[in-house]
Amino acid sequence: MHPRNPYAENPPDFRALAESYAKLAEFLHYDAIIDFSDPEAVCALTEALLHKDFDIDVDLLPDRLCPRIANRLNYILWLQDLLDSDSYDSNNVNQNTPIWGLDIGTGTSCIYPLLGCRLRANWNFIASDVDNLAVSHAAKAVARNKLAERILVVQTAPADPLFPNPLLRDSHAMQYFHFTMCNPPFYSSSADYNASQSLKVTSAHSFTAATPEEMITPGGEAAFVQRMINESMEAFRIHPVTGNTWYTSMLGKLDSLKTVVSTLREHRISNYAVAEFIQGQHTRRWAVAWRFCGRRLLPNLTRPEDPVPSAAVRGLLPPATGFTLNLRRAKETDSRHLLDKVLSMLEADFGELMRLEKLCQRDCAEAYISGYSSQGNVWSRKFRRKRRRDSEDDDHVVQGTPGEGIGFGFRIFVEDSVKTEVTRCVLHWSYGSDPIVFESFCGMLKDRIQSLVP
Ligand SMILES: C[S@@+](CC[C@H](N)C(=O)[O-])C[C@H]1O[C@@H](n2cnc3c(N)ncnc32)[C@H](O)[C@@H]1O
């Protein structure tokens, strides 16, 4: 589960829930047991959880897909992480600027927009679905929770683009979605769906009431997400500002994740993220995200450590955005001195080619160096040779701003570990498109830093 998921450590107490939500009491056996193969009982439990823990009031339909709350929360919390990663200091995320998300296939429950809006006061949604009942029932849930100003439910048709008409977005005064999300239909055909249902009747824990329309899409979930990848590439080609959008989807099968990641790699989309959510012993889900701008994710989001993904997923992770250099602790490697020394060294060697700054994080003793080079790999031999040649004609160096093609951004943190007698120097790749440039930067800096230390 996501580390911030409230159900990770505290599974729901059914008896206490039934006290606060009378409808659940009818389905409680021996005072504390729920029959998970009874769709009405599962709906009552879900309604009770939403009511008690999130102040969300819904009337779920027992013959439709009933969202498992812990699972839907995992996805929402991970999305928060992706968006917060841009503000870098996750303790000081700006929660006033309006954020717009698109939930593709919101379902009758409208679960993602409702949870997203309750958890973040600045989140707003367009929620789409092709199913008439899903659209009307979702719209009722939105009204019931007094969220009509923040969630707009729209009906689309299967052949419509997955990302709705920009005019709709203009009417909401936004240029692009900050994120898109989706829990796509899993299966590729009725045969595929029926086969999985007959397996599931033997396992009450995995029983899911749903209609074929909710669960089946041509080509299955992988094809649905591949369609999103194609549409997102086209949107970026036409409107470059959409490069900032995080396109994301949940996936129910590991094979689909493999297909989607290889499609991203084929298209050379290296700015992506993968998450694995493990719930109990029975359920595993995955999520994938990608975008086209140069701002990179924090290292713990490209290479998660809590929990570490399974071996199968590790091979699908995106390029790392962090590199750690452990130095033996000595007077010279004391973090405050070392950070100043590294800054002086970078200023001396690249001062006119990089924008360099020493920053202190607010409310915290931590300091770090932030650097940006508009000309990319300015430490390489190739760059220096070219510069030498150019300088014979013209000495002028152009300074660019982040967002221009080859730019490269980084941050350097230095921290003492009293316990291990080690000073850790942590490099974060914050901007750029080429993982090889980051690798070469780490190699260069490692050599230089080691030369500063006795
Ligand atoms: C697996 S359900 C997910 C429902 C809900 N988001 C949840 O997580 O519980 C998939 C939903 O996608 C909808 N859907 C299928 N094709 C779609 C399309 N092309 N555009 C928008 N929604 C679609 C289905 O009607 C269904 O409501």
Q: pLDDT digit string (tens) for 140-187?
A: 999 999 999 999 999 999 999 999 765 455 555 567 899 999 999 988
More confident residue, 262 or 326: 262
Q: Are residues 310 and 431 in the same domain?
A: no
pLDDT more than 70, % of the chain: 88
Structural domains counted in the chain? 2
- Does residue 45 have a pLDDT over 80? yes
Q: What's the pLDDT score for residue 273?
A: 97
Instruction: Tell me the CATH number at 357.
Output: 3.30.310
Q: Whole-prediction pTM value?
A: 0.91
Q: Are residues 156 and 299 in the same domain?
A: yes
Q: Are residues 93 and 222 in the same domain?
A: yes
Evaluate whether residue 51 is within a structural domain.
no
Q: pLDDT digit string (tens) for 262-317?
A: 999 999 999 999 999 987 777 889 999 999 999 999 999 999 987 888 899 999 99
More confident residue, 284 or 439: 439
Instruction: Quote the CA–CA distance of 45 and 28 in Å, as a whole number.
Output: 10
Q: Are residues 300 and 331 in the same domain?
A: no
249 CB within 6 A, ligand 1: no
Instruction: Quote the CA–CA distance of 109 and 259 in Å, as a whole number.
Output: 29
11 CB within 6 A, ligand 1: no
Evaluate whether residue 96 is within a structural domain.
yes
List the residue whose alpha carbon is closest to atom 23 of ligand 1: 105
217 CB within 6 A, ligand 1: yes
CA of 262 to the centre of ligand 1 (A): 24
- Does residue 382 have a pLDDT over 60? yes
**Which 3-state string (H, E, C) describes 17-66?**
HHHHCHHHHCCEECCCEECCCCHHHHHHHHHHHHHHHHCCCCCCCCCCCC
Q: Are residues 238 and 97 in the same domain?
A: yes
Cis ω for the linkage preceding 218 (within 30 of 0): no
Instruction: Quote the CA–CA distance of 1 and 388 in Å, as a whole number.
Output: 54
Which residues touch 318 (CB under 8 Å, ≥6 apart)?
Answer: 270, 271, 272, 273, 274, 297, 302
List the residue whose alpha carbon is closest to atom 12 of ligand 1: 105
Q: Are residues 394 and 260 in the same domain?
A: no
Evaluate whether residue 19 is within a structural domain.
no
- Does residue 68 have a pLDDT over 70? yes
H-run or E-run covering 390: helix 381-393
Evaluate whether residue 11 is within a structural domain.
no
Domain finish residue from 314, 347, 371? 314
Q: Are residues 307 and 165 in the same domain?
A: yes
CA of 207 to the centre of ligand 1 (A): 19
Beta strand 179-182 pairing with 246-251: parallel
74 CB within 6 A, ligand 1: no
276 CB within 6 A, ligand 1: no
Domain finish residue from 314, 331, 358? 314
Query: Percent helix, strand, coil in the chain (nearest 5)?
Result: 40, 20, 40
Q: What's the pLDDT score for residue 187?
A: 85
CB atoms within 10 A of CB 340: 14
| Ligand 1 atom at minimal distance to the Cα of residue 162 | 20
Q: What is the DSSP letter of 216?
A: B
Instruction: Tell me the CATH number at 200.
Output: 3.40.50.150
242 CB within 6 A, ligand 1: no
Q: Which two tokens stand for residue 174?
A: 């936004």
More confident residue, 167 or 79: 79
CA of 106 to the centre of ligand 1 (A): 6
183 CB within 6 A, ligand 1: yes
- Does residue 93 have a pLDDT over 80? no
H-run or E-run covering 135: helix 132-144
Instruction: Quote the CA–CA distance of 427 and 400 in Å, as a whole number.
Output: 22
Instruction: Assign 90 a pLDDT band (cuts: 50, 70, 90).
Output: low
List the residue whose alpha carbon is closest to atom 9 of ligand 1: 67
- For 83, what's the count of Cα atoms within 13 Å in the CB-facing half-sphere? 26
104 CB within 6 A, ligand 1: yes
Q: Are residues 337 and 287 in the same domain?
A: no
Q: Are residues 204 and 343 in the same domain?
A: no
Query: Of the ranges 61-70, 152-161, 205-214, 418-427, which one carries the lowest mean pLDDT score?
Result: 205-214
Evaluate whether residue 14 is within a structural domain.
no
CA of 217 to the centre of ligand 1 (A): 9
Evaluate whether residue 32 is within a structural domain.
no
**144 φ/ψ angles, rounded to the nearest 5 degrees:** -60, -30
Instruction: Quote the CA–CA distance of 417 and 368 in Å, as a whole number.
Output: 16
Instruction: Quote the CA–CA distance of 49 and 206 in Å, as a whole number.
Output: 19
**443 φ/ψ angles, rounded to the nearest 5 degrees:** -60, -45
Q: Are residues 148 and 260 in the same domain?
A: yes
Instruction: Assign 109 a pLDDT band (cuts: 50, 70, 90).
Output: very high
Q: How far apart are the first and last CA of the chain?
A: 44
Evaluate whether residue 15 is within a structural domain.
no
User: What is the SS3 assignment for 91?
Assistant: helix
Evaluate whether residue 289 is within a structural domain.
yes
Q: What sign has the CA pseudo-torsion 119, 124, 130, 136?
A: positive
454 CB within 6 A, ligand 1: no
105 CB within 6 A, ligand 1: yes
Q: pLDDT digit string (tens) for 239-265?
A: 888 899 999 999 999 999 999 999 999
Q: What's the pLDDT score for residue 3?
A: 87
List the residue whose alpha carbon is closest to atom 2 of ligand 1: 214
C-beta of residue 247 within 8 angstroms of C-beta of residue 290: yes
Q: Are residues 235 and 307 in the same domain?
A: yes
Please give the residue range of the domain that contains residue 393: 322-452
C-beta of residue 80 within 8 angstroms of C-beta of residue 55: no
Q: Are residues 288 and 331 in the same domain?
A: no
Domain finish residue from 314, 344, 362? 314
Instruction: Quote the CA–CA distance of 296 and 309 in Å, as a whole number.
Output: 20
158 CB within 6 A, ligand 1: yes
pLDDT more than 90, % of the chain: 56
The average pLDDT across 36-55 equals: 94
Q: Which of 73, 283, 107, 74 is nearest to 183 (CA)?
A: 107
More confident residue, 210 or 348: 348
Torsion-angle region of residue 162: left (phi > 0), alpha (psi -120 to 50) or beta? Answer: alpha
